[in-house]
Structure 1
Amino acid sequence: MLSLKSVLAKPFAKRIYKKVQKWANNPIETQEKVFRELISRAASTEFGKDHDFKSIKNHNDFIKRVPVRDYEALKPYVEKVVAGKEDVLWKGKPLYFAKTSGTTSGSKYIPITKASMPSHVEAARNAILLYIHETGNAKFVDGKMIFLQGSPILNEQNGIQLGRLSGIVAHYVPKYLQKNRLPSWETNCIDDWETKVDAIVEETLPENMTIISGIPSWVQMYFEKLQEKTGKKVGDVFKNFNLFIFGGVNYEPYRSKFENLIGRKVDSIELYPASEGFFAFQDKQDERGMLLQLNSGIFYEFIKADEFFNEQPKRITIKDVQVGVNYVMIISTNAGLWAYNIGDTVMFTSTKPYRVIVSGRIKHFISAFGEHVIGKEVEQAMQDATQGSNIRVSEFTVAPQINPKEGLPFHEWFVEFENEPEDMSALAKKIDESLQEQNTYYFDLIQGKVLQPLKITKVKKDGFQDYMKSIGKLGGQNKIPRLSNDRNIVDKF
């Protein structure tokens, strides 16, 4: 029998679907409206005055007055906000700072304002509602849901609350979901990740879990501990578990491992949340890519990734983007980030509506020999090579080997297997062939005998977890880069 909650979920889902369609079908007008509102609302701030917002009438004016900045370049303004000054990047003071551990600049303090906070919450809710509208499946709203996330304990600094994004969002779970939600507040507050996962296993085992959510690498750890404790597949432990929600990394490299741990296929929804804004979510089960959130107080610009380091790279808006091109995404937001480079690269899979996939990080690529290999390509190569086999990969990262003991340089793949191949060199050959097919620069370098084909180096069980632990980044929102242009990470293995 259906509960009242699952009966009411369907008309609510239909209403939200119509609202989303309205702006998704009018993308350019929607973005222009967002742009005008951002400029007019911030004109009287310190940043707005410094960059003459009052005279900005269009995108070209904006390009002339506001250069692209990363966190380091915006830091002088952020530091004033952290010190408690008002009206710096946005009106008043932010509600929160999402504290993130930057790879290059130590801790980053990303402002979240009263204007920007709702979109962090609504986008995730809308992703679930659009799934209900599309599939007609609403039974899961009666079960328990888990979101593996950071601690919700917040500190205060000059009247502004400070914490991890997932911990901040935990304070905004709607009332109608509070009873369904796990882990408990106490468990969520545990700092040590391994202790926390053990506690989550104890808490969830007796429950009717229907939705499980989190970054795949950390959900994997939870699944493995469940299996260890019960000796059963996760799908047998939680018979009604039928929706996996994830974000932060590409799920494809984990998919076969997850299906093995669960013991069956479950539907999944991909999200693209970040401290800087909630950018996209998967709106259709059978479509590749996530719907870009054009109506969430974020104005988007794009720069072709291979032109990004040029003197004056061209900044375009959504009306000029093309499918299949690798772009650096630049954002201006109602949290007071202006022409801000978050470091992600995206590719459009469709422009009607605008859907994207995250293709990597502008800093995470290998071009030690001019090959421009990106994260999406190495993940695709691994997927192509292992598809249809019983090889299962837990985790991997790639780095260049510039000075080998003998022979030509090569790409070295550090792979932790759960189920390793009988023939390692055959796997390496398949991966290499897929990479050559995807990347013409790499193909030319192999054919031209500048590089030799890639080599695989086996990483011991839990090697990646041990590495993350050793740098104090086990759990939460932390992820291993898929590839690096140096050997700083792999030298630790």
Structure 2
Amino acid sequence: MTSIKALLTKPFAKIVAKRIKRWSSNPLETQEKVFQKLISEAASTVFGKDHDFVSINNHDDFVKRVPVRDYEALKHYVERIVDGEENILWKGKPLYFAKTSGTTSGAKYIPITKESMPSHVEAARNAILMYINETGKSSFVDGKMIFLQGSPILKEQNGIQLGRLSGIVAHYVPKYLQKNRLPSWETNCIEDWETKVDAIVEETLPENMTIISGIPSWVQMYFEKLIEKTDKKVGDIFKNFNLFIFGGVNYEPYRAKFENLIGRKVDSIELYPASEGFFAFQDKQDEKGMLLQLNSGIFYEFIEAEHFFDESPKRITLKDVKIGVNYVMIISTNAGLWAYNIGDTVQFKSTAPFRVIVSGRIKHFISAFGEHVIGKEVEQAINDALKETNASINEFTVAPQINPEQGLPYHEWFVEFANAPENLNTFAETIDQSLQEQNSYYKDLITGKVLMPLKITLVKKEGFKDYMKSIGKLGGQNKIPRLANDRKIADKLYQMRLVK
């Protein structure tokens, strides 16, 4: 019998879907309004005065006055806010700092303001409502929902709350979901990830779980512990579990493994959240790409990844983007980030409406030999090999081998299989062929005998988990980089004897 709550969700979903259609159908006008409001609201801030915001009338003016920056270049402004100053990047003080681990700067403090906070919550809610509106499925709202995330315990620094984004968002769960939501507050506060997952298993086993959400690699650990405890597939343990919500990494390399762990196919929704903003969510089950959030206080610019490291790369807005081109995404937000390079690369799958996929990281690529292989290409290649061989994986990463003991250099793929292929050579050849088809530079290097075809190095069971634990990044929002231009991860895997 359908509950009143499930029935009421459908008309609410319809209203939200109409609102979303209104702004997604007028993307350029929506973005222009966001741009003008951002400039106006921040004109009297320190940053606004430093960059003459009062003279900015259009995007060309903005480009002339505000250079593209990463966290390092913005850090001196952020440090002033951390020290307690107001009206620096945005009016007043932020509500929170989302603390993330930077690759070069140590801890990064990303501001979240009272203007930006709602979009972090509403976008995830809207993704579920769009799913309900499209499919008509709403009975899952009566079951229990789990969101695997970081601890909600926050610290305070000069009047600003400090914590991980997922922990901050945990404080904003709507009242109507509080009773449905797991894990409990006490379990969510457990810092040690393995202890936390064990506690989550105990809490969820007797419940009617209908939605499970989190980064695939960490949800996988939860699923495996459930199966170990019960000797049943996840879909048999939770009969009404039919919706998996994920973000952070491409799900495709995990899909076969997950379907095996669950024992059946379930619907999924992809999200694109980050500490800097909630950028996109999957709005259609049968469409590739996520709907770019254009009315959430974020103004977007794009630079072709191929030209990003040029002296003066061209910055374009939505009106000039093209489908299939790899762009570095630049954002300006109502949290006070201005022409900010978050480090992600995206590709547009549609321009009516604007839908994107995350294609990789501008810092995470391999171009040790001029090949410029990106995340999307390696993920597509391994996915092709998994389909070809019916294998499944737990995790993988790729590094260049520039100075082999003998022979030509090559790309070394570190793979932890859940179900290894019968023939590893066929698996490697399929990957290599897929990469050559996707990347002409890589193909030229292989055919020109500059590189030899890639080699696969097997990682021991739970090897990547042990590696992440060794660097203090087990669980939460942490994930293994798919590829790197150096051998820091590769060397560590060898040093820890995590490879076979």
Give the TM-score taking structure 2 as reference length: 0.98
CA distances 1:391-442 after superposition (whole Å, capped 9, x unpaired): 1111000000011111110000000011111211111111100110010000
Taking the TM superposition and a 5 Å limit, the aligned residue runs for 1:67-466 are 67-466=67-466
Residues 211-246 of structure 1 deviation map (CA, whole Å, 9 limit, x = unaligned):
000000000000000000000000000000000000
Task: Determine the C-alpha separation between the residues in 2 that align with 1:340 and 1:441.
Answer: 29
Q: Is the 8 A contact 2:389 2:427 kept in 1?
A: no
Task: Provide the C-alpha distance between the structure 2 equivalents of 1:313 and 1:196, rounded to a whole number of angstroms.
Answer: 45
Rounded to whole Å, the distance in 1 between the matches of 2:370 and 2:151 is 42
Deviations 1:118-150 (A, max 9, x none): 000000000000000000000100000000000
The amino acid across from 2:347 in the alignment is: M
CA distance in 2, matches of 1:76, 1:481: 27
- Residue 389 of structure 1: CA displacement? 3.4
Q: Matches of residues 45-56 of structure 1 in structure 2 within 5 Å?
A: 45-56=45-56
- Using the alignment, how far apart are the partners of 2:30 and 2:385 within structure 1? 42
Q: Give yes or no for contact 2:389–2:422 (8 Å, CA) kept in 1.
A: no
Q: Percent identity?
A: 82
Gaps of 5+ in 2: 494-500
1:390 Cα deviation from its structure 2 partner: 2.9
* Aligned partner of residue 10 in structure 1, secondary structure: helix
Gaps of 5+ in 1: none
3-state SS of 2:389 partner: coil
Equivalenced residue count is: 493
Displaced runs of 4+ in structure 1, greater than 4 A? none
What does the per-residue CA deviation read over 1:236-277, in whole Å, with 9 as the maximum and x for residues that have no partner?
Answer: 000000000000110001000000000000000000000000
Note if 1:11 corresponds to 2:11: yes
Give the alignment's TM-score, normalised by structure 1: 1.00
**Secondary structure at the residue paired with 1:146?**
strand
Report the residue type matching 2:360 in the other structure: G
Q: Given residue 66 of structure 2, which amino acid in structure 1 is its aligned partner?
A: V
Aligned-pair CA distance for 1:114: 0.4
Q: CA deviation at 1:388?
A: 5.0
Q: Distance in 2 between matches of 1:319 and 1:218?
A: 38
Compute the RMSD of aligned alpha carbons: 0.5
Paired residue secondary structure (1:119)? helix
Measured against aligned partners, the alpha-carbon deviations of 1:353-391 in whole angstroms (never above 9, x if no partner) come to 000000000000000000010001001000111105331
Q: Work out the CA distance in 2 between the residues paired with 1:465 and 1:267.
A: 27
- 1:333 is displaced (CA, Å) by 0.1
What's the counterpart of residue 496 of structure 2?
Answer: none
Following the alignment from structure 1 to structure 2, what is the Cα–Cα distance between the partners of residues 36 and 430?
A: 49
Contact 2:300/2:329 (<8 A) preserved: yes
Q: More deviation in 386-395 or 7-16?
A: 386-395
Q: In structure 1, what is the Cα distance between the partners aligned to 2:450 and 2:204? A: 53
Could you tell me how far apart the structure 1 residues matched to 2:314 and 2:305 are?
Answer: 11
Deviation of residue 60 (structure 1)?
0.3
Q: In the aligned structure 2, how far is the partner of 1:390 from the partner of 1:486? A: 30
